[in-house]
C-alpha cells in the first residue's frame, strides 16, 4: 500500500480547498443552514464546471476519468469546509451504482446530466426500523403491465426536496433469504403520487419521509437485475461509508487545526494555554484520533481503488470515524472554554453534524457487527 499522493491529487486538494474557502466561507454555511433548499444552486453549477460531479466518470459521459481515491480527496476537502448540499447523496449514493450497474441506455441518459450539475439524486433505503437490513425492506413493487407499481414509505431520504430522481429500494418478491427479491428503481422525484415530509434533525441536515402511493415505474428504470438488488445496496453502502469517512476525516483535521492555533494564541496566567499539560494532552488525543481515521480511511479506499474492497476494513474505518469525530469536537469545545459552546463559533458548526455523519451509511453498531462477522463471531 502506498498512501502518498500524486502531483495531480495534490493539485486537486489545493484547488478544492481554495475554491471552498472563497465560495463557501463559514458565513455562507450558516446562511445555507437557514435556506429552504439547503445549498447554493450557483455554487453547485460552479462545482460541476470544475468537473467535480463527473470526477470519476469516463470521458464518454462527460467525466474526468479520475480514481476513487481522487473522489476521497475531494470529499475530505468538502468535510474540512462543511460544504452544504446534495453532493454526497447524488454522487456517493446514486452516481457510483449507476456507473457500475446501469445499463448502457441508463448511463447515457443520466450520467451526463449529473456531470453537468443538471440533476440531483438521492437514495431511499431505510424504513420504519431505520436499519440497513434487507429484512426491513417492506416497500412493495408489483408488476402491472409494463410498469412496477410502488407502495410504501421510506425514511431519512436525504435532500428529497431538491432531488430530480430517487433511487428506491423495493421488494419485488420473497425467497429463502431476506436479500432475495430486492430490486432498485429509478423514480422521477416529481411523480404526483409521492409525498415528502420533513424530518427535523439536530444536525440541520435535510431528511425526509417519502411516501409512495401507487407510483408507477417503467421496467427500463430498474437498476441491475430484478430480485438481485441487494448486491447493489451493499456496493452503495460500502462506498458511501468510505466517502462519509473522508468527509469526517477532513472535518476532524479542520477542528484539530483550529484548536491547535487557538491554544497557541489564547493567553492565561501570562502564557499560552497550550503550554499547560491538560491542554497538551487534549490536543495529543485529538491528533491520535485524526491520524487513526486517516489511516483506516486510506486503507479502505485503497482496497476499493484496486477493485478489492474489504468489508471489515471499510467498517473499521467508519466505526472509528464515527467515534473520533465526536471525541475530537468535544475536546475542541473544552479547549476553547466557554466560547466553544457558542453556536456562533465555528467549532459548533462541526459538532452539530456529528450525529448526522455517524448514522449516514451505517452507525457504529452496524459496522461493529460487520467486523464481528468477519471474525467468525
Between CA 21 and CA 19 the distance in angstroms is 6
Q: Are 58 and 65 in contact (CB under 8 A)?
A: yes
For the segment 88-147, what is each residue's pLDDT rounded down to a tens digit? Answer: 999 999 999 999 999 999 999 999 999 999 999 999 999 988 889 999 999 999 999 999
13, 73 Cβ separation under 8 angstroms = yes
User: What is the pTM (predicted TM-score) of this model?
Assistant: 0.95
Round to whole Å and give the CA distance between 36 and 335.
Answer: 34
Domains of the chain: 7-119 (1.10.540.10), 122-227 (2.40.110.10), 231-374 (1.20.140.10)
Q: What are phi and psi of 30, to 5 degrees?
A: -65, -40
Q: How far apart are CA 231 and CA 228, in angstroms?
A: 7
Answer whether 302's CB lies under 8 Å from 3's CB: yes
If one counts every other C-beta atom within 10 angstroms of the C-beta of residue 107, the result is 18
Cell 450497474 belongs to residue: 101
The whole-angstrom distance between residue 119's C-alpha and the CA centroid of its chain comes to 17
Cβ partners under 8 Å of residue 209, min gap 6:
153, 154, 155, 157, 196, 197, 199
Tens digits of pLDDT across the chain (377 residues):
667 899 999 999 999 999 999 999 999 999 998 899 999 999 999 999 999 999 999 999 999 999 999 999 999 999 999 999 999 999 999 999 999 999 999 999 999 999 999 999 999 999 988 889 999 999 999 999 999 999 999 999 999 999 999 999 999 999 899 999 999 999 999 999 999 999 988 777 899 999 999 999 999 999 999 999 999 999 999 999 999 999 999 999 999 999 999 999 998 899 999 999 999 999 999 999 999 999 999 999 999 999 999 999 999 999 999 999 999 999 999 999 878 877 788 998 899 889 889 889 989 999 999 999 999 98
| C-alpha 152 chain-centroid distance | 25
Amino acid at each position: 500500500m502506498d498512501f502518498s499522493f500524486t502531483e495531480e491529487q495534490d493539485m486537486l486538494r489545493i484547488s478544492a480547498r481554495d475554491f471552498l474557502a472563497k465560495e463557501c466561507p463559514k458565513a455562507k454555511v450558516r446562511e445555507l443552514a437557514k435556506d429552504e433548499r439547503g445549498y447554493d444552486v450557483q455554487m453547485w453549477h460552479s462545482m460541476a464546471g470544475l468537473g467535480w460531479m463527473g470526477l470519476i466518470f469516463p470521458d464518454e459521459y462527460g467525466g474526468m476519468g479520475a480514481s476513487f481515491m481522487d473522489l476521497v480527496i475531494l470529499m475530505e476537502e468538502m468535510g474540512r469546509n462543511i460544504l452544504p448540499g446534495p453532493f454526497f447523496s447524488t454522487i456517493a449514493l446514486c452516481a457510483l451504482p449507476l456507473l457500475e450497474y446501469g445499463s448502457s441506455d441508463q448511463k447515457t441518459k443520466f450520467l451526463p446530466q449529473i456531470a453537468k450539475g443538471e440533476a440531483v439524486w438521492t437514495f431511499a433505503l431505510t424504513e420504519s426500523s431505520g436499519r440497513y437490513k434487507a429484512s426491513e425492506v417492506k416497500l412493495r413493487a408489483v408488476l402491472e403491465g409494463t410498469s412496477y407499481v410502488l407502495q410504501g414509505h421510506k425514511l431519512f431520504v436525504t435532500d428529497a426536496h431538491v432531488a430530480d430522481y430517487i433511487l428506491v429500494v423495493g421488494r419485488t418478491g420473497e425467497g429463502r433469504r431476506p436479500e432475495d427479491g430486492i430490486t432498485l428503481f429509478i423514480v422521477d422525484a416529481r411523480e404526483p403520487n409521492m409525498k415528502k415530509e420533513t424530518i427535523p434533525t439536530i444536525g440541520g441536515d435535510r431528511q425526509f419521509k417519502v411516501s409512495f402511493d401507487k407510483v408507477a415505474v417503467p421496467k427500463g428504470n430498474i437498476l441491475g437485475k430484478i430480485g438481485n438488488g441487494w448486491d447493489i445496496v451493499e456496493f452503495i453502502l460500502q462506498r458511501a461509508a468510505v466517502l462519509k469517512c473522508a468527509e469526517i476525516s477532513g472535518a476532524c483535521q479542520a477542528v484539530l487545526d483550529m484548536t491547535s492555533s487557538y491554544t497557541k494564541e489564547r493567553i492565561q496566567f501570562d502564557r499560552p494555554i497550550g503550554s499547560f499539560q491538560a491542554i497538551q494532552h487534549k490536543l495529543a488525543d485529538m491528533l491520535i484520533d485524526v491520524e487513526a481515521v486517516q489511516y483506516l480511511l486510506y486503507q479502505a479506499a485503497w482496497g476499493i481503488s484496486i477493485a478489492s474492497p474489504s468489508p471489515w476494513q471499510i467498517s473499521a474505518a467508519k466505526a472509528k470515524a464515527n467515534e473520533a469525530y465526536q471525541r475530537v469536537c468535544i475536546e475542541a469545545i473544552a479547549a476553547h472554554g466557554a466560547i466553544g459552546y457558542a453556536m456562533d463559533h465555528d467549532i459548533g458548526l462541526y459538532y452539530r453534524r456529528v450525529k448526522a455523519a455517524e448514522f449516514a451509511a451505517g452507525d457504529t453498531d452496524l459496522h461493529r457487527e460487520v467486523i464481528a462477522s468477519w471474525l467468525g463471531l
